[in-house]
Amino acid sequence: MTIAAVREFNRYYTNLIGVLRAGLHDSAYSLAEVRVLYELAVDRAHDTAELRRLLDIDAGYLSRILGRLEADGLVARSRSAADARRRRIELTPAGRAAFEALDARSEEQIGGLLAAVGEVDRRRLVGAMDTIRSVFEGVLPARTVVLRGLLPGDLGWVVQRHGALYAAEYGLDATFEALVARIVADFAASHDPRTEAGWIAEVDGTPVGSIFCVRAGDGVAKLRLLFVEPSARGMGVGNALVEECVRFARRAGYREMVLYTQDVLTAARRIYQRAGFVLDSATPASVYGVEVVEEQWRLRLV
């Protein structure tokens, strides 16, 4: 199954970028020939052994490529000053001009492919490519947490993920999802962007967390719907979301911020404590199909 999927993707992508055509980017040169030009352009000069290592290419095949490029006046070969047994290969001025034209066409082609792809999907795409490379190289890619404002579709995602995860991890029933849906609906219908906002955290272009700041009264803000996907825990996502929410509340002129949580949400409680929130009250309750202790926390902003 995995082998078939990888082979299918290889066929799809090679067709997508046109590497099977007789000439890459409508030129007279193949993909392998253009790669040789690229390596020579990036590092200015190589000997044959270095090119073979970089390209993992058969010596006879590389020799034929270089022979053609030399006949076309794109490369020049000379003896290495360091070792007379080795041949030095460099681009000629014509070779550099040819490479720059091909490189520009490549940029234009990929730009065309991405033109209809939104910013969120672009980040997902780059993240997926990093993942593929890391799997084969055995190195975990650096994963960057990005906070952004709300986009179409985010509110539905917030409701769905809260409902699914809190049911799976804490046994909360559908009444909790209904509460989240009401909070989100009220925010969408009437929030004031000067004093209320929501954020989505992303990793590799994929949503992994949320938080909202809403007005709770005169001079009081309420932190709502902090959520972090299990796959992103330990990356500082929750801390980043709470810090951003608190910064916004201060800029908006609130004098204090409150939040409601439950005693079982231990990871969230630690985040609130690090941000300076203080436990205000704790009350046993039977809600969302479970027995919990409901807590109110408070943070002075001024």
CATH of residue 38:
1.10.10.10
CATH number of the domain that residue 195 is part of: 3.40.630.30
User: Domain for residue 253, yes or no?
Assistant: yes
Residues 295, 153: one domain? Answer: yes
Structure tokens at 116: 């209809």
Residues 283, 173: one domain? Answer: yes
Which of 79, 99, 116 is the last residue in one of the domains?
Answer: 116
Residues 73, 191: one domain? Answer: no
Residues 150, 24: one domain? Answer: no
The answer to whether 20 and 11 are in contact (CB under 8 A) is: no
- Domains in the chain: how many in total? 2
Residues 245, 193: one domain? Answer: yes
Residues 112, 153: one domain? Answer: no
User: Domain for residue 82, yes or no?
Assistant: yes
Q: What is the pLDDT of residue 204?
A: 79
* Average pLDDT score over residue span 216-227: 96
Query: Among residues 199, 222, 208, which one has the least CA distance to residue 161?
Result: 208
What DSSP state is assigned to residue 142?
P
Residues 43, 184: one domain? Answer: no
User: Domain for residue 133, yes or no?
Assistant: no
Query: Among residues 167, 240, 168, which one has the least CA distance to residue 203?
Result: 240
Q: What is the pLDDT of residue 224?
A: 97
* Average pLDDT score over residue span 54-58: 84
Structure tokens at 70: 């030399």
Which residues are 227's β-sheet partners?
210
Share of the chain above pLDDT 70, in %: 94
Q: What is the pLDDT of residue 139?
A: 61
Residues 112, 164: one domain? Answer: no
User: Domain for residue 203, yes or no?
Assistant: yes
Confidence of residue 15 (pLDDT cuts 50, 70, 90): confident
Q: What is the pLDDT of residue 45?
A: 58
Cα distance between residue 38 and residue 188, in whole Å: 51
Which of 116, 134, 162 is the last residue in one of the domains?
Answer: 116
Q: What is the pLDDT of residue 259?
A: 97
What pLDDT digit, counting tens, does each position of 161-192 carry?
999 999 999 999 999 999 999 999 999 999 99
* Average pLDDT score over residue span 137-143: 64
Q: What is the pLDDT of residue 140?
A: 57
What pLDDT digit, counting tens, does each position of 92-116 carry?
999 889 888 888 888 888 888 888 8
What order of strands is seen across the sheet that includes strand 87-91?
45-47, 87-91, 75-79
Residue 19 has pLDDT above 70, yes or no: yes
Residue 215 has pLDDT above 90, yes or no: yes
Kindly tell me the burial class for residue 205, based on how many C-beta atoms sit within 10 Å of its own C-beta (0-12, 13-18, 19 or more). middle
Residues 171, 284: one domain? Answer: yes
Residues 159, 295: one domain? Answer: yes
Residues 110, 220: one domain? Answer: no
CA distance to 23, 111, 145, 167, 236, per residue, from 271 (Å): 57, 41, 16, 22, 10
Contacts of 276 (CB under 8 A, 6+ apart): 299
Residue 81: which domain range? 2-116
Structure tokens at 198: 């929501």
Residues 100, 165: one domain? Answer: no
- Taking the model in full, what pTM does it have? 0.60
